[in-house]
């Protein structure tokens, strides 16, 4: 949902902006506020997914009791609520006095103090990337140890060679996902925050390349976290071919 809303905001901006903002100062302040909140939630959701995978791999026996539908909904709600509260404080001056920082008619800008940029850097970038790296590193270590344990247990079996290949593929897959998640998130968000911290003006209008790259991360997230899984691709196929409208579609085996 958050990644979809990021794409919606970008489309909204492209359609309504041609060098000028036509919807007034209040709508400008609300648009920029939602911009900050939704992109922050997108990163927060990545953290929640990494926590989910950490529990699933490192504590599989406790997963059904620790990760329930109710707890998941509560975590998502807290993610959205914390983003709204944090950015309400961060953009307080912009929300209380819409248009106070614009230099000419039709301009839509947001100004955040340097300390605010530092806090946003930790809240939206350093914090999430640290948690993701730590948890996925732990997941990778556990996955590798499990693969090696499986390989050692069947060392005396004639299928030793094939098991070794499967174990090696498991290790490589875990390493690939870890690398893709961390590298993509880092490459997409790091340029934006570097530009925002180096510039005295707002980081949003300083560099269009860093700006677009920052939002491009939300385009890649669904590909990274969903399209890697065959059951998701099968689900999309069922929806697009309208098979979901057939009686009994809810009983379709996706695995």
Q: What's the CATH number where 153 sits?
A: 1.20.1070.10
Query: In whole angstroms, what separates CA 71 from the centre of its chain?
Result: 19
Instruction: Decide: residue 45, CB within 10 A, 0-12 exposed, 13-18 middle, 19+ buried.
Output: buried
Query: In whole angstroms, what separates CA 78 from the centre of its chain?
Result: 15
Segments forming the whole domain that contains residue 180: 2-251
Q: Decide if 102 contacts 108 (C-beta within 8 A).
A: yes
**How many structural domains are present in the chain?**
1
Q: Decide if 147 contacts 65 (C-beta within 8 A).
A: no
In percent, the amount of the chain with pLDDT more than 70 equals 76
CA distances from 196 to 85, 115, 205 (A): 21, 12, 9
Average pLDDT, the chain: 77
Secondary structure (3-state) at 229:
coil
pLDDT for residue 98:
78
pLDDT less than 70: residues of the chain: 11-19, 101, 103-104, 106, 147, 150-178, 196-197, 199-208, 255
Q: Decide if 6 contacts 215 (C-beta within 8 A).
A: yes
pLDDT for residue 151:
67
pLDDT for residue 49:
85
Cβ neighbours for 75, distance < 8 A, ≥ 6 positions apart:
48
DSSP string, 55-112: HHHH-TTTHHHHS-HHHHHHHHHHHHHHHHHHHHHHTHHHHHSTTTT-SSTT------
Phi, psi values for residue 98, rounded to 5°: -60, 135
pTM of the model: 0.75
Beta bridge partners of 17: 21
């Amino acid at each position: 949902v958050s990644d979809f809303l990021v794409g919606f905001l970008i489309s909204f901006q492209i359609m309504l902006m041609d060098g000028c903002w036509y919807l007034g100062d209040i709508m400008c302040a609300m648009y920029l506020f939602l911009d900050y909140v939704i992109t922050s939630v997108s990163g927060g959701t990545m953290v929640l997914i990494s926590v989910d995978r950490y529990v699933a791999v490192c504590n599989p026996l406790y997963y059904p009791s620790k990760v329930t539908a109710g707890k998941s909904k509560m975590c998502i709600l807290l993610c959205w609520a914390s983003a709204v509260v944090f950015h309400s404080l961060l953009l307080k001056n912009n929300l209380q006095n819409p248009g106070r920082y614009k230099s000419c008619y039709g301009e839509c800008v947001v100004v955040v103090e340097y300390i605010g940029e530092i806090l946003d850097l930790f809240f939206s970038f350093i914090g999430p990337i640290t948690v993701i790296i730590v948890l996925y590193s732990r997941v990778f270590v556990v996955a590798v140890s499990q693969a090696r344990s499986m390989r050692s247990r069947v060392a005396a079996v004639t299928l030793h060679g094939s098991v070794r290949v499967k174990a090696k593929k498991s290790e490589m897959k875990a390493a690939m996902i870890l690398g893709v998640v961390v590298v993509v998130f880092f490459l997409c968000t790091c340029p934006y925050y570097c530009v925002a911290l180096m510039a005295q003006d707002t980081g949003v209008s300083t560099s269009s390349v860093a700006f677009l790259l920052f939002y491009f991360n939300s385009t890649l997230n669904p590909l990274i976290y969903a399209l890697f899984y065959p059951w998701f691709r099968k689900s999309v196929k069922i929806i697009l071919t309208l098979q979901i409208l057939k009686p009994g579609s809810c009983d379709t085996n996706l695995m």
